[in-house]
Chain A
Amino acid sequence: MGEMSRAVHEPPTFLRRYVFSTDHKVIGIQYLITAMFMAIAGGGLVALMRMQLAWPGTKWAWLGRIFPDGMESGVMKPEFYLSLMTMHGTIMVFFVVSLGLLGGFGNFLIPLQIGARDMAFPVLNMLSYWTIVPACLVMLGSFWVEGGAAAAGWTAYPPLSAVRTALPGSQWGQTLWILGMALFIASFTMGGLNYVTTIFDQRTKGMSMMRMPLTIWTMFIASAIGLLAFPPLLAAAVLLLFDRHGGTSFFLPSGLYFGNQLLPNSGGTPLLWQHLFWFLGHPEVYVLILPALGITLDLLPVFTRKPLFGYRLTVYCLYAIAALSMIVWGHHMYVSGMSPYVGEFFAIGTLAITVPSTIIGVNMIASLWGGTLRFPTPMLFVIGAIVFFGTGGFGGIFLGNATSDIQLHDTYFVVGHFHLMIGGVTLMAMFAGVYYWFPKMFGRMMSERLGKVHFWLTFPAFYAIFLAMHYQGLAGMPRRYYAFDKYEYLQWLQGSHLHVSLAAFLLFGAQFLFLYNFFRSVFRGRKAADNPWNAATLEWSSPTPAPHGNWGEHLPEVHRWPYDYSVPGATGDCTPQTTPASVAPVTF
């Protein structure tokens, strides 16, 4: 009874309905739009960086007026480049991809795909969103404090992050960075606890764990990994704050000079931070990519009209990846002064992870085999995600081997590798997800024509950028430099910088097409049918767009797995999860 009345009554006021809403769908859309906004910010930062790298030292008078400190009289200062780079990385990893995939799709899809009316703790959910908003503002605002934004990299290595006199950005910018990250971690923890509890405890009748779509599986595992990996980083961040403002030396050894001045610290070591950071940092990359893989896997059967290949094996592989991802962080530290034996341990663990990763990739390709393929916009992006996953993973093998990584570490090869992975796969999956679930969110379709143009601009431009970076890295070009024109051995690469920058501007520009399509379609898009893609998963069994409470009086009952397409003996090529066994045979 209580359930029902909750389902029927919508919150009365505009404020409770769209701003301080506890409805998981509204919160999901809020997260998604926040992520888009932050993506424009993060993209804008990198546009400035690419201008500098393509035409180093050029004077841009109008930019000098916007950033009077960092680009005094229009020429970019090296330390400003470092701030841009640091904030680009931080924003993209935590405030675009985490926010979009887990906050956006996680919130929107989890209750809808497991047959729940909302999250287990709707108020906590709202709180999680309203914690991320100040986090975003703190991060963006840090550009305008004294010294500018943090400049120690998204990895915040000490001593640059711990000594306040190290760089201009090591002053207030770095402190605000820590504050922003603390808020992010608080928000993520609230969200993650909610997701795991909801997935455990709120599934509808018949929705056993092994009948959940892989999107839900990956959200579940990603949240779990995040919950395990973020706490130690929080501990480290607290200590970093004490090093900066309390006079402690957790991460600072003795004998450190800055500006001809000996620092009084002693006893600590920056290696400690590196271990703690990467203990989070590596699992974090899986927090980002797993939901992207889940979405990719889930959309495949819809557009091939055949069941997913290797569902059970994929679930086991997800568990294997989750477990292994906690013990391979050392592969980011091969050159940090690590015993070769310890290095070998981390190398073996890393190469072990490629096995379940490859199995998942092969399952994707096998899911295409023999299907009736269709290529509307979401499917194009799904294919893009698979391609990037393959290429990025190939680079990972060389980085995972300590022997070859010693050569490649801190070059553009690494930059190319991880952008294909946490940039490319996730971006492709998020676009696929937006085009695919847009009707569920707003009751309208996005424009197919604009969507296809968007894909055919985004995908090649992305490849043009990051494949080229692999070659630059192999040629020995180091990462995190603000200009390369002073190095003789890199002169011949100047043309490739121009190539990368032009492709980057194209990529950035193409995203405005997407934004236009998105916001136009919210109001003007073609009205969507209840199940526009003819898909079997549970979210399409509710009206489109889903009402408050998701389903009417009764929650749906689940009788089969989510991939029953072209079942022999069934009518039509799609058998929704709610179809009882008496109507169509259950295959799984």
Chain B
Amino acid sequence: MHTTAAITKTSWEGGVSPFGTGWSKLMMWLFIVTDGLVFAGFLAIYGFLRLAGPSWPDRAKMFHLDFIALMTFTLITSSATMATAVGAARKGQGKLARRFLALTILGGLGFLGMQAYEWSSLIRAGATLSSNPWGAPLFGACFFVITGFHGSHVLSGVIVLAATWVRSGMGLSRPEGVEVAGLYWHFVDLVWVFIFTLFYLV
């Protein structure tokens, strides 16, 4: 069984391994930092525009918050199934890991489906990038761009997970691979928590 320590030992000939991680995990962490900063940029822009804007639409009128809560719940649950998959992969229980990976993928797809539904109902009500029947047009612009950007991350996460699922079925995937994919998935979920809070709640 490959453990992180084994990977580090072969590639690491000097000094002290900084975080006891192999390259791919370290790389994913660094990537998450940069990608997180893209979202930080977006959300800072959103905050700036909102503070500078004269009025902001009443979100309770615009959205069905129960539905959004269900979306959020689905995504958070998929994080839990992901954690289970990683744990199983580490213990060498490949079958169980694949089953939970599949559940995670389903969770992601469910989230995307609900987001598509939400978008289409808003668009049908007349919201576009440059107009918004509930008030400030900029809110609509921010909403579509930023949740769209997040949605594209969920989609790429689903693709990564599906690739991991297929590869592990063929016996190609190492536990570290599942773990790295899991890191990305948790990150995408965490970003949603911020978006959820800033766009729907406050």
CB atoms of B33 and A227 under 8 A apart: yes
Could you say which of B37, B41, B145 has the most chain A C-beta atoms within 10 Å of its C-beta? Answer: B41
CB atoms of B31 and A558 under 8 A apart: no
**A478 at interface by CB-CB < 8 Å:** no
**A401 at interface by CB-CB < 8 Å:** no
**B12 at interface by CB-CB < 8 Å:** yes
CB atoms of B23 and A205 under 8 A apart: no
Residue of B nearest to A243 (CB): B141
Inter-chain CA distance A248–B146, complex, in Å, is 13
* Closest Cβ–Cβ distance, residue A307 to chain B (whole Å): 22
**A325 at interface by CB-CB < 8 Å:** no
* Closest Cβ–Cβ distance, residue B17 to chain A (whole Å): 7
Cross-interface CB contact of B41 among A121, A197, A231, A558, cutoff 8 Å: A231
CB atoms of A201 and B35 under 8 A apart: no
Cross-interface CB contact of B30 among A227, A233, A266, cutoff 8 Å: A227
Could you say which of A197, A208, A272 has the most chain B C-beta atoms within 10 Å of its C-beta? Answer: A197
* Closest Cβ–Cβ distance, residue B10 to chain A (whole Å): 7
Which of B45-53, B86-94, B175-183 touches A? B45-53
**B15 at interface by CB-CB < 8 Å:** yes
Would you list which residues of chain A between 542 and 563 have a CB under 8 Å from chain B? 555, 558
Inter-chain CA distance A207–B136, complex, in Å, is 57
CB atoms of A235 and B129 under 8 A apart: no
Residue of A nearest to B142 (CB): A250
* Closest Cβ–Cβ distance, residue B122 to chain A (whole Å): 15
* Closest Cβ–Cβ distance, residue B128 to chain A (whole Å): 8
Which residues of B lie under 8 Å from residue A234 when comparing CB positions? 38, 41
- 1/0 per position for B1-22, CB-CB distance to A under 8 A? 0000000101111111110001
Would you list which residues of chain A between 268 and 284 have a CB under 8 Å from chain B? 268-269, 272, 275-276
CB atoms of A232 and B38 under 8 A apart: yes
Q: A200-B18, A206-B14 are in contact. Are A248 and B145 (CB under 8 A)?
A: yes
* Closest Cβ–Cβ distance, residue A373 to chain B (whole Å): 34
Would you list which residues of chain B between 125 and 157 have a CB under 8 Å from chain A? 128-130, 136-138, 141-142, 145, 149
Q: A234-B41, A242-B129 are in contact. Are A121 and B34 (CB under 8 A)?
A: no
**A203 at interface by CB-CB < 8 Å:** yes
Inter-chain CA distance A555–B14, complex, in Å, is 10
Inter-chain CA distance A235–B191, complex, in Å, is 15
Cross-interface CB contact of A246 among B10, B13, B129, cutoff 8 Å: B129
Which residues of A lie under 8 Å from residue B18 when comparing CB positions? 200-201
CB atoms of B136 and A231 under 8 A apart: no
CB atoms of B141 and A120 under 8 A apart: no
* Closest Cβ–Cβ distance, residue B25 to chain A (whole Å): 10
Inter-chain CA distance A384–B17, complex, in Å, is 39
Inter-chain CA distance A505–B42, complex, in Å, is 44
Would you list which residues of chain B between 164 and 185 have a CB under 8 Å from chain A? none
Cross-interface CB contact of B38 among A201, A235, A264, A558, cutoff 8 Å: A235
* Closest Cβ–Cβ distance, residue B48 to chain A (whole Å): 6
**B44 at interface by CB-CB < 8 Å:** yes
Q: A230-B34, A250-B45 are in contact. Are A269 and B52 (CB under 8 A)?
A: yes
Cross-interface CB contact of A205 among B13, B33, B36, B37, cutoff 8 Å: B13
What is the total number of residues of chain B having a CB less than 8 Å from a CB of chain A?
42
Which residues of B lie under 8 Å from residue A235 when comparing CB positions? 38-39, 41-42, 45
* Closest Cβ–Cβ distance, residue A40 to chain B (whole Å): 32
* Closest Cβ–Cβ distance, residue A274 to chain B (whole Å): 12
Inter-chain CA distance A37–B137, complex, in Å, is 45
What is the total number of residues of chain A having a CB less than 8 Å from a CB of chain B?
47
Which residues of A lie under 8 Å from residue B130 when comparing CB positions? 246-249, 264
Which residues of A lie under 8 Å from residue B53 when comparing CB positions? 267
Q: A203-B15, A250-B138 are in contact. Are A238 and B49 (CB under 8 A)?
A: no
- 1/0 per position for A194-234, CB-CB distance to B under 8 A? 10110011111111110000000000000000011011111
**B27 at interface by CB-CB < 8 Å:** yes
Could you say which of A202, A206, A267 has the most chain B C-beta atoms within 10 Å of its C-beta? Answer: A267
**A111 at interface by CB-CB < 8 Å:** no
**A189 at interface by CB-CB < 8 Å:** yes
Which residues of B lie under 8 Å from residue A382 when comparing CB positions? none
**B26 at interface by CB-CB < 8 Å:** yes
Inter-chain CA distance A453–B63, complex, in Å, is 71
CB atoms of B27 and A120 under 8 A apart: yes
CB atoms of B31 and A268 under 8 A apart: no
**B40 at interface by CB-CB < 8 Å:** yes
* Closest Cβ–Cβ distance, residue A348 to chain B (whole Å): 23
Cross-interface CB contact of A193 among B30, B38, B42, B44, cutoff 8 Å: B30
Q: A197-B26, A248-B145 are in contact. Are A268 and B49 (CB under 8 A)?
A: yes
Which residues of A lie under 8 Å from residue B48 when comparing CB positions? 272, 275
CB atoms of B44 and A232 under 8 A apart: yes
Residue of A nearest to B40 (CB): A232
**A236 at interface by CB-CB < 8 Å:** yes
**A2 at interface by CB-CB < 8 Å:** yes
- 1/0 per position for B74-116, CB-CB distance to A under 8 A? 0000000000000000000000000000000000000000000
**A239 at interface by CB-CB < 8 Å:** yes
Q: A249-B137, A249-B141, A272-B49 are in contact. Are A232 and B15 (CB under 8 A)?
A: no
* Closest Cβ–Cβ distance, residue B6 to chain A (whole Å): 13
**A115 at interface by CB-CB < 8 Å:** yes
Which residues of B lie under 8 Å from residue A202 when comparing CB positions? 11-12, 23
CB atoms of A193 and B34 under 8 A apart: yes
Which residues of A lie under 8 Å from residue B39 when comparing CB positions? 235
CB atoms of B45 and A203 under 8 A apart: no
Which residues of B lie under 8 Å from residue A209 when comparing CB positions? 15
Which residues of A lie under 8 Å from residue B27 when comparing CB positions? 120-121, 193-194, 197
Q: A196-B30, A272-B48, A555-B13 are in contact. List 4 more A-B contacts (CB 8 A).
A: A201-B22, A202-B23, A231-B35, A235-B45
Please name the 7 residue pairs, one residue from A and one from B, whose CB atoms are nearest each other, closest first.
A232-B41, A235-B41, A231-B37, A247-B130, A205-B14, A248-B141, A231-B38
Binding site for A on B (CB under 8 A): 8, 10-18, 22-23, 26-27, 30-31, 33-42, 44-45, 48-49, 52-53, 128-130, 136-138, 141-142, 145, 149
Binding site for B on A (CB under 8 A): 2-3, 115, 120-121, 189, 193-194, 196-197, 200-209, 227-228, 230-236, 238-239, 242, 246-250, 264, 266-269, 272, 275-276, 555, 558
Q: Name 12 interchain pairs, CB-CB below 8 A, sorted by A.
A: A193-B27, A201-B12, A201-B17, A201-B23, A208-B15, A209-B15, A227-B34, A230-B34, A232-B38, A272-B45, A276-B41, A555-B13
